[in-house]
């Protein structure tokens, strides 16, 4: 079991254990339309929400991701 420690702008010192295989063991009713990688490629949250916590997630999610080089502002999109 892998322990992830989160230290970003929203939370510091938060820890959690990865207890399921990535992309598996969801509730049977959970059927997302897009994967995390697909959402990041579309620039969800203006591409800014996740830029300070990329180490918390699989590197593959960020291949081709549209991430903002500036602070999020809805006026930019």
DSSP secondary structure letter of residue 22: T
pLDDT tens string, the chain, 77 residues long: the values are 889 888 877 788 889 998 888 778 889 999 999 999 999 999 887 777 778 778 888 899 989 998 887 754 555 54
* E strand or H helix at 41: helix 36-42
Where do the domains of the chain lie?
30-77
- Look up residue 6 and give its two tokens: 């989160």
* Region class of 64: left (phi > 0), else alpha (psi between -120 and 50), else beta: left
What does R_g of the chain's alpha carbons equal in angstroms? Answer: 14
Provide the whole-model pTM: 0.65
């Amino acid at each position: 079991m892998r322990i992830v420690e989160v230290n970003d702008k929203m939370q510091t010192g938060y820890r959690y254990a990865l207890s399921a295989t990535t992309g598996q063991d969801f509730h049977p009713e959970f059927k997302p339309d897009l994967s995390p990688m697909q959402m990041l490629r579309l620039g969800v949250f203006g591409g800014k929400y996740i830029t300070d916590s990329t180490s918390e997630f699989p590197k593959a999610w960020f291949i081709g991701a549209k991430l903002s080089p500036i602070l999020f502002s809805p006026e930019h999109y």
